[in-house]
Structure 1
Amino acid sequence: MNECVLDVRNIVKKYKLYNSEKERLKEAFHPFHKSFHKDFYALKGISFKVNKGEKVGIIGSNGAGKSTILKILTGVLNPTEGEVVTEGRIAALLELGAGFNMDYTGLENIRLNGTLMGCSEEEMEIKTQKIVEFADIGDFISQPVKTYSSGMFVRLAFATQIFSDPDILIVDEALSVGDIRFQQKCYRAMDELMENKTVLLVTHDTAAVTRFCQRVIWLNHGELVYDGEVTEGLRRYKEFLINQAIEETNDSEYQSFGETLEQKREEIRLNLPPVPEGISKNGNGKAVITHCALMNDDHELLEFVEPGTWVNVVSRIEFHEHTARPLYGFTLFDRLGNVVVSLNSETIDVQLPPQDGQVEYTFRFRMPDLNHGEYTMSVAVANGFQTDHVQLCWLDDVLTFRVMQREYDLPGFLYLDHGEVSITTLKS
């Protein structure tokens, strides 16, 4: 039976918003208790449970309520309504600076944190050495924290929290600070040190959620929209972001600039399979991808792909309205939903001509040296520019293929079977 270590029960957080400090005072001293404020609900009845050992990602746009719920979980804020029941010790990495005295040195803050967590002197001697080695900030460990860079600060903060041996670790975007080596070091540490512990990870990085979490919770404007399996949750979240961008963008404003690719006029109709039923479609519907296939240069459908060979992503598209500046491309995913590579017409310096009616686009590229396994491709057509466009039609995982295992079974996205090794004998 799963052991529940975190039970969030109908949490509501309400703030009073005033137009000015004068109205705040008028409300405080009004003889008839007249209200001069507007209620703002940062959280609207949030409930969920987390079992021991679960790794849960919490996602959502800015203002969704992610940081508010985490501050309530850690006792930094009190809820307006509801309650939180926890089992075990919680360590939190919420905001840079939270819980640290800026005038203390790194070592003094380590000891202060250990005291607050209830660690004995003997425990702190061992933990301090591990924290100093992990943070790897050199002599700055003996300097006041207020002299640290943001990268040094998060190194020390993360090391202090993870080596405090918490039962529940809460991380709120902190790992986005620091260089790539330290970020990887943090994830490895969570894999190793938090194997049987509970972790809540708040991040905008969906790849981090895919890589680390077994469950995702999506908040939007203070409400719980989704709680469940990672792949489905991220698909719904991506669909929401696409639709949100469509509402905020007027694609009729896009105009065609510069040289465009010459469009073939002869009628060539390939034997393309229709898009399978059940494929998730996103976009504003002003264009629809009706047929799609992964083919070789002989126009044969590909189920297995040999890395390094040329392949074609072919789509038949119906433009329902005139599109001034089409973009056509795809995103390649591994079986866990990690993005392997993304390409579109603009990123390879190809400008497609203005389009309406029916057309077939063929994107030819050399398949990377992928490792063995199963892969999917999402295909899309948009209007605009790489940095500013509106999605017309996006098909999630519409194409699938496999790469067969080669001589050796090594981890990673790519498979390399060539290179050189040399030896230089050094004089003693």
Structure 2
Amino acid sequence: MIELSGVNKRYGTRQGQRTILDGVNLKVARGDKLGILGKNGSGKSTLIRLISGSEQPSAGDIKRSMSVSWPLAFAGGFQGSLTGLDNLRFVCRVYGVPPERVIPFVEEFSELGIYLREPVKKYSSGMRARLAFAISMAIEFDCFLIDEVIAVGDARFHAKCNYELFQKRKDRAMILVSHDPRIVREHCDRACVLHNGKLLDFSEVDSAFVYYQTYC
């Protein structure tokens, strides 16, 4: 279970404190497929970072009784001077996973070839994304966080990513944030709308769409 209780998030600006999330409550159980709809700038990515633990709330509590991924394909945590392989080994140490168990998968899935043993600072943005997604799939989680659509590589590689995540791991919980109703309809069985800092929970995806299209 992931449970958010009265979560607030504020950031300082030149005009003073700005509230991004205001009293957010949410429960996500094992196997849930939750979509979060919201316009650009509504705080969707902030909410995902809080759930992942990469940021802390300004107020409120977040409890996790299942393992939670980082936002998929997020490559901002790589150390540029290290090789892709060394970054993989570091992530494995953080999560207590033997590197030798996941290296073959990442080598095959990322399709980086010799560049897996080159410094990440030499990678294109697409290569970074492929490495990040491959590592995300190599380490198993109870809940996967998906910040917008996973658009990694060409159409063939994109289909490969979708199969790995949405088919092979269809028993896992997922939280998918997006402003694209089509994506949420395709992959989620319930939805929330993030609007003016408030998270509104709907038991039916279509009800969330009606609210989103009417008020957001």
User: C-alpha displacement at 1:177, in angstroms?
Assistant: 4.3
RMSD, aligned CA: 1.9
Quick check: which has more Rg, 1 or 2? 1
Which residue is equivalent to 1:171? 146
2:8 matches 1:8: no
Offset from partner CA, 1:387-426 (integer Å, 9 cap, x none): xxxxxxxxxxxxxxxxxxxxxxxxxxxxxxxxxxxxxxxx
Question: Tell me, what secondary structure is at the counterpart of 1:41?
Answer: strand
The equivalences for 1:187-336 within 5 A come to 187-241=162-216
Offset from partner CA, 1:117-149 (integer Å, 9 cap, x none): 1113xxx21311112211112221111111112
Quote the Cα distance in structure 2 between the aligned partners of 1:7 and 1:174. 24
Quote the Cα distance in structure 1 between the aligned partners of 2:43 and 2:76. 18
User: C-alpha displacement at 1:94, in angstroms?
Assistant: 5.8
User: C-alpha displacement at 1:79, in angstroms?
Assistant: 0.9
Structure 1: state its 5+ residue gaps.
20-37, 242-428
Amino acid at match of 1:87: S
User: C-alpha displacement at 1:13, in angstroms?
Assistant: 0.9
Cα distance, 1:59–1:86 mapped onto 2, change above 3 Å: same
Which residue is equivalent to 2:43? 65
Amino acid at match of 2:51: L
2:125 matches 1:135: no
Which residue is equivalent to 1:50? 28
Which residue is equivalent to 1:17? 13
Q: TM-score, normalised by structure 2?
A: 0.91
Whether the 8 Å contact between 2:152 and 2:161 is mirrored in structure 1 is no
Cα distance, 1:157–1:174 mapped onto 2, change above 3 Å: farther
Offset from partner CA, 1:343-376 (integer Å, 9 cap, x none): xxxxxxxxxxxxxxxxxxxxxxxxxxxxxxxxxx
Cα distance, 1:173–1:45 mapped onto 2, change above 3 Å: same
User: C-alpha displacement at 1:188, in angstroms?
Assistant: 0.9
User: C-alpha displacement at 1:95, in angstroms?
Assistant: 6.9
Quote the Cα distance in structure 1 between the aligned partners of 2:3 and 2:39. 24
Quote the Cα distance in structure 1 between the aligned partners of 2:196 and 2:52. 21
Amino acid at match of 2:11: Y
Cα distance, 1:95–1:188 mapped onto 2, change above 3 Å: closer
User: C-alpha displacement at 1:93, in angstroms?
Assistant: 2.2
Question: Tell me, what secondary structure is at the counterpart of 2:19?
Answer: strand
Quote the Cα distance in structure 1 between the aligned partners of 2:132 and 2:149. 9
2:113 matches 1:117: no
Cα distance, 1:135–1:74 mapped onto 2, change above 3 Å: same
Which residue is equivalent to 1:100? 78
Q: TM-score, normalised by structure 1?
A: 0.48
User: C-alpha displacement at 1:66, in angstroms?
Assistant: 0.8
Aligned residues: 216
Which residue is equivalent to 2:131? 156
Cα distance, 1:130–1:94 mapped onto 2, change above 3 Å: closer
**Higher helix content, 1 or 2:** 2
Which residue is equivalent to 1:308? none
Quote the Cα distance in structure 2 between the aligned partners of 1:140 and 1:117. 24
Identity of aligned residues (%): 32
Quote the Cα distance in structure 1 between the aligned partners of 2:123 and 2:179. 25
2:160 matches 1:185: yes
Amino acid at match of 2:211: R
User: C-alpha displacement at 1:86, in angstroms?
Assistant: 0.4
Whether the 8 Å contact between 2:2 and 2:66 is mirrored in structure 1 is no
Q: Which has the higher contact order (CA 8 A, sep 6+)?
A: 2
Quote the Cα distance in structure 1 between the aligned partners of 2:7 and 2:100. 39
Quote the Cα distance in structure 2 between the aligned partners of 1:215 and 1:92. 21
Structure 1 consecutive aligned stretches of length 4 or more whose deviation exceeds 6 Å: none
